[in-house]
Amino acid sequence: MAEAHDALRSHLENFFRGHLVDCLPGVTGPIEERIPGFRIFRIGPGQRFGGWTYVSSGCAGIASADGHGLEFALTARTDDWQHLESMTMNAYYHAGPPHQRLDHGHVVPIGRPWFADSACDRYLISLPYPFGPDFEVSAWDGGHARILWLLPITPAERDLIMNAGLEAFESLFEEKQIDYTDPHRPSVA
């Protein structure tokens, strides 16, 4: 796990060169039972991205196949404890029984609004479109972590994904040029 954590830190520091990158524990609770040593990298605003980025560390080592697993990223306008809570919650869920494993295209309820009184109350597990393919993989000797994006969505958007498919949703999201960091953004559905 230490090798994966160190490789992820290096990957993030290189990708977000010039940004503050710090490492925080998850929110206090049962996360340590499922992912001992779980951490969250918090990346401050900078030249590459003007908002805050949070990246899990520890998921790839717990729920992996042959040294290859997933980590998760969340982007936001502001730095807030709720984002740390969301990262911890998703990591805890992902590291549970195999039927709970998260992957590209899955939708996960948050259990509350994403932030403040946002209509977004769930995450779509998506490719990290804001950062491109160079961000998506952190590799080390004997393994790698694929970093997927927790994109906050509304119930209507979840219904659109279920009825029309992920590609239709992503096309509409791009077409309308939605600000994904805005907790009060309009729904595309």
In the chain, where the domains are located:
2-154
* pLDDT tens, residue by residue, 108-152: 999 999 988 999 999 999 999 999 999 999 998 888 999 999 999
Q: Name residue, tokens 């729904």.
A: 187
pLDDT of residue 133: 94
Instruction: Determine contact, residues 179/188, Cβ cutoff 8 Å.
Output: no
User: pTM for the complete prediction?
Assistant: 0.95
- Gap between the Cα atoms of 24 and 5, Å rounded: 12
Q: Name residue, tokens 């340590």.
A: 32
pLDDT of residue 66: 72
Alpha-carbon dihedral of residues 53, 128, 132, 163, nearest 10 degrees?
A: -150
DSSP 119: S
